Amino acid sequence: MIELRTPIQVKEAVKKVLALKKKEQSEFVLISDCDNRYLAEDILADHDVPPFTRSKVDGFAVRSIDTQDAAKEIPSNFSVIEEIGAGTVAKNHPQKGEAIRIMTGAQLPIGTDCVVMLEHVLQYKKKGSHYFQLEQELNPGMNVSYQGEDLQKGSSLIKKGRRITPGIMSLLATFGYNKVSVYKKPKIGIIATGTELLEVEQPLQPGKIRNSNSYMVASQIRKMGAEPILLGQLVDDLELSYQYILEQLKNIDYLITTGGVSVGDYDLLPEIYQKLGANVLFNKVQMRPGSVTTVAEWNGKALFGLSGNPSACYVGLEFFVRPLILESFSNPYPHLEKVQAILLKDELQTNVFTRFIRGFYHERDGKLFVQPIGLDQSHAISSLAEANSLIIVPANQTMKKNDIVEVLLLEGRGSEWPWR
Amino acid sequence: MIELRTPIQVKEAVKKVLALKKKEQSEFVLISDCDNRYLAEDILADHDVPPFTRSKVDGFAVRSIDTQDAAKEIPSNFSVIEEIGAGTVAKNHPQKGEAIRIMTGAQLPIGTDCVVMLEHVLQYKKKGSHYFQLEQELNPGMNVSYQGEDLQKGSSLIKKGRRITPGIMSLLATFGYNKVSVYKKPKIGIIATGTELLEVEQPLQPGKIRNSNSYMVASQIRKMGAEPILLGQLVDDLELSYQYILEQLKNIDYLITTGGVSVGDYDLLPEIYQKLGANVLFNKVQMRPGSVTTVAEWNGKALFGLSGNPSACYVGLEFFVRPLILESFSNPYPHLEKVQAILLKDELQTNVFTRFIRGFYHERDGKLFVQPIGLDQSHAISSLAEANSLIIVPANQTMKKNDIVEVLLLEGRGSEWPWR
């Protein structure tokens, strides 16, 4: 009646999941729709930066050779023959003693090789014409940025796999990426199991609770950059549930179920996996919460059987689903980021399984500290909302106040591989 | 010809902007659409947690009084009179020697007061009926969670003003928030100025560059939780530009312009502010980059005149626009988060203005370190994409390698007030 399960280490479980990685697929989206998507191609410079030799300041473009005798006692006089703003190109080529009024960012007129700042000259009018006096010698290149000095055309700026942030958006626009190649969002079906579950809009009934995991999981999935598809709840009937899952699997890339993976009599998932002929990669992991996490593979699709306990469900998703999604985006940091921090709590114990305790980490004086939350019952319910990290307490260890502990960040920038 | 401007401190400038805070407005959205929105009401528990007294384990619910003589040598025998799963309520009330098979999470049957784990009994059948032997005494409450022991109905769980994360989503679903009251997204118009600007889809032309700021700003605005509205570019004509801005101001809450705020001859914004009769709060700030940042007020609407330089534009938005948006969401941490870190670079200098240098911070052995990026020209162009922080170099100071410096985090969780 009671099935025996062999628990495996977290790192082994993650490796088994990552072996299910799917072929990456990309699509083009408009630049205005690409926030937070993952680049499916490197960003290349489509032109030199600066694209042309230009002025760094508001001032006058001149030939440096004409300034070589200028000094406070004997200023040189220049005639202003044209004015150009940014975006316009000078029509004239200044000769000896001639200057062109130039704005910041405008292309340096042919013949000139330096710019004197507006504030550093004395302007005057004579017979309706515009002149200035210069009291200093200028070197060639002064206040000038040369074409390509920052970056040459064709250079690779950002590697594919990066999430598109405002800073990356700036580069995409600069280099003309009106349409951006990004990875397609995997479609991830979410099914809740448990006859005790009500939908969020239903009033409470005796013995029942509302389905909160589906909404939490959908929110996590969106944050990971994939597309959640809420597929409701399983009915308490093996054949109907099997048929429903079989049908849904046609339209999704991965399936997440919450609940129904324990060894209780009413837990359907193990039987459904068997009926599907799915290959169960593992059904017990040496971790708390989430020890009953199950992952199976069916026709190349990952089936994640997460615990119905909200904390266990949350953790299972971050440990196992996140890296599979992010690796399919070529992201080099698919796992939760791991840091070290000083523990602010007397004692955290564990047994043969590694514990992952919800925590709040923060910086003080350049050091990181972490405080467990949700250990007492009164905070258990809101601890998932307050936590920004998971404190790792390795198997068979006790962590004491002021110990250095390892912490996984829920909002961090990810890591290559946090597991020992 | 050259206007004199009085630079003010960053903290004074931020205070002036925050005085423009608008009245908050909320709206209801479906729970499936509320990711990353800001709560406009506290989340209250609409029921006790647990909502009913329930079993923590898979097993058998019994009366503890019936177990008081059970021991290894003289086990007590129980008759299983009913089976209930999670979500179902027992029809029977066990009497002496009777038990009900119960699943994890199911409501404790009336009359019983404890649950024995499935693994701790010896089950057997007799004449088609179901029995078990119990070899231990159970205390009242064993393996039971009492109604309301975690949380009482009506308690406030999460305060308004918080951004909705997956953990908060779990609470919203648990407590029946099918529709969630969130703050409305302010509509923020974005206009680029500069005759040198091409749109992203245009091929490069002599003397011109593409408009990258509008896309970067829009991406930052979306990340801050507001709605960017791209309003194109100003033409190089005061009257037409004035009319266009006047018309657009009817439909937006704030206006952001990029470029056109310097003292160059072609910079339109100061004249447009004057023509509008806008109240200029400041037009020079003691910071680099972004010293020419201008903020004006017109009919209660903030007009942000940001620099056309991408780094200055980015910083101006994070320092001045971000807190105005987040305060309108009642968020208690509207400013960039500030931490301390160890500087990994020989020397950072400044003059009379405080410098904010793009940096990359990271943790090692529980301490935070920060490395400036983009100081050399070859990285200048991609430094906005690579930076995750801004290193603060206060006016008239020099920071050396291994100094503790203050760092503003671009992806942090925000702060109440980072300015000295």
Of A105, A150, A173, the CB nearest to B378: A150
Q: Which residues of B318-345 are buried (b: 16+ CB within 10 A; e: fewer)?
A: bbbbbbbbbbbbbbebbbbbbbbbbbeb
- Amino acid B153: pLDDT: 95
**How far is residue A143's CA from residue A137's CA, in Å, rounded to a whole number?**
13
Query: Which pLDDT band, with edges at 50, 70 and 90, does A61 fall under?
Result: very high
**How far is residue A340's CA from residue A74's CA, in Å, rounded to a whole number?**
66
**Is A105 in Cβ contact with B196 (below 8 Å)?**
yes
Query: Which pLDDT band, with edges at 50, 70 and 90, does A105 fall under?
Result: confident
pLDDT of A21 higher than 90:
no
**Is A173 in Cβ contact with B212 (below 8 Å)?**
yes
Tell me which DSSP letter residue A301 carries.
E
**Is B195 in Cβ contact with A88 (below 8 Å)?**
yes
Structure tokens at A248: 């849904």
Q: Where are the domains of chain B?
A: 10-25+185-327, 28-46+159-183, 54-145, 337-409
Helices (H), A301-362: 310-316, 322-328
Residue with tokens 């009401």: B41
Residue with tokens 């068997």: A274
Query: Which pLDDT band, with edges at 50, 70 and 90, does B98 fall under?
Result: very high
CA separation, residue B39 to residues A381, B169, B288 (Å) = 18, 11, 35
Query: Cβ neighbours of residue A274 under 8 Å, at least 6 residues apart?
Result: none
**How far is residue A81's CA from residue A218's CA, in Å, rounded to a whole number?**
65
H or E segment at A242? helix A238-248
Q: Are strands B98-102 and B76-84 parallel, antiparallel or unpaired?
A: parallel
The distance of B152 to chain A (nearest Cα, Å) reads 10
Question: For A242-263, how does the pLDDT look when each residue is reduced to its tens digit (9 = 90+)?
Answer: 999 999 999 999 999 998 776 5
> Whole-number mean pLDDT of chain B?
93
Query: Which pLDDT band, with edges at 50, 70 and 90, does A378 fall under?
Result: low
Question: For B348-370, how does the pLDDT look when each residue is reduced to its tens digit (9 = 90+)?
Answer: 888 899 999 999 999 999 999 99
- Amino acid A2: pLDDT: 47
What's the whole-number mean pLDDT along residues A329-341?
97
What's the whole-number mean pLDDT along residues B163-173?
97
Locate the chain B residue with the closest alpha carbon to A51: B209
Q: Can you name the CATH fold of B54-145?
A: Molybdopterin biosynthesis moeA protein; domain 3 (2.170.190)
For domain A337-409, give its CATH number from 3.20.19.10, 3.40.50.11750, 2.40.340.10, 3.10.450.50. 2.40.340.10
Return the residue in B156, B381, B399 with the most chain A beta carbons within 10 A, the one to mutate for interface testing.
B381
What superfamily would CATH give domain B10-25+185-327? MoaB/Mog-like domain (3.40.980.10)
Q: Are B223 and A166 in contact (CB under 8 A)?
A: yes
Query: Which pLDDT band, with edges at 50, 70 and 90, does A265 fall under?
Result: low
- Amino acid A377: pLDDT: 60
Q: Say which range, A55-69, B187-201, B250-264, has the weakest mean pLDDT.
A: B250-264
pLDDT of A264 higher than 70:
no
**How far is residue B125's CA from residue B140's CA, in Å, rounded to a whole number?**
27
Sequence letter at residue B346: D
**How far is residue B106's CA from residue A208's CA, in Å, rounded to a whole number?**
8
Handedness of CA B241, B245, B248, B252 (dihedral sign): positive
- Amino acid B362: pLDDT: 96
Q: How many CB contacts within 8 angstroms connect chain A with chain B?
A: 300
Query: Which pLDDT band, with edges at 50, 70 and 90, does B12 fall under?
Result: very high
**Is B106 in Cβ contact with A264 (below 8 Å)?**
no
Asked if A10-25+186-328 and A337-409 have one fold, the answer is no
pLDDT of B2 higher than 90:
no
pLDDT of A358 higher than 60:
yes
**How far is residue B267's CA from residue B277's CA, in Å, rounded to a whole number?**
17
The distance of B262 to chain A (nearest Cα, Å) reads 9
pLDDT of B8 higher than 90:
yes
CA atoms within 13 A on the CB side of A233: 18
**Is B171 in Cβ contact with A381 (below 8 Å)?**
yes
pLDDT of A18 higher than 90:
yes
- Amino acid A4: pLDDT: 67
**How far is residue A228's CA from residue A215's CA, in Å, rounded to a whole number?**
10
- Amino acid B1: pLDDT: 39
Structure tokens at A361: 């980490």
Question: For B23-82, how does the pLDDT look when each residue is reduced to its tens digit (9 = 90+)?
Answer: 789 999 999 999 999 999 999 999 998 899 999 999 999 999 999 989 999 999 999 999
**How far is residue B104's CA from residue A262's CA, in Å, rounded to a whole number?**
10
Question: For B238-255, how does the pLDDT look when each residue is reduced to its tens digit (9 = 90+)?
Answer: 999 999 999 999 999 999
pLDDT of B3 higher than 80:
no
As a whole-number percent, the residues of chain A with pLDDT over 90 amount to 82
What's the whole-number mean pLDDT along residues A172-185?
97
Q: What are phi and psi of A107, to 5 degrees?
A: -70, 135
CA separation, residue B55 to residues A66, B86, B133, B175, B368 (Å) = 93, 9, 20, 21, 45
Ramachandran quadrant class, B228 (left: phi over 0; alpha: psi -120 to 50; beta: rest)? beta
Query: Which pLDDT band, with edges at 50, 70 and 90, does B88 fall under?
Result: confident
Q: Are B198 and B211 in contact (CB under 8 A)?
A: yes
Locate the chain B residue with the closest alpha carbon to A151: B378
Q: Does domain A10-25+186-328 have CATH number 2.60.120.620?
A: no
In chain B, which residues have their Cβ closer than 8 Å to the Cβ of A207?
A: 52, 86-89, 106-107
User: What's the first-to-final CA gap in chain B, in angstroms?
Assistant: 35
The interaxial angle of helices A269-276 and A238-248, nearest 10 deg, is: 60
In chain A, which residues have their Cβ closer than 8 Å to the Cβ of B340?
A: 363, 365-366
Q: Say which range, A266-270, B175-179, B392-396, has the weakest mean pLDDT.
A: A266-270
In chain A, which residues have their Cβ closer than 8 Å to the Cβ of B314?
A: 166-167, 170
Q: Are A414 and A163 in contact (CB under 8 A)?
A: no
pLDDT of B4 higher than 70:
no
Q: Are B52 and B107 in contact (CB under 8 A)?
A: yes
As a whole-number percent, the residues of chain B with pLDDT over 90 amount to 83
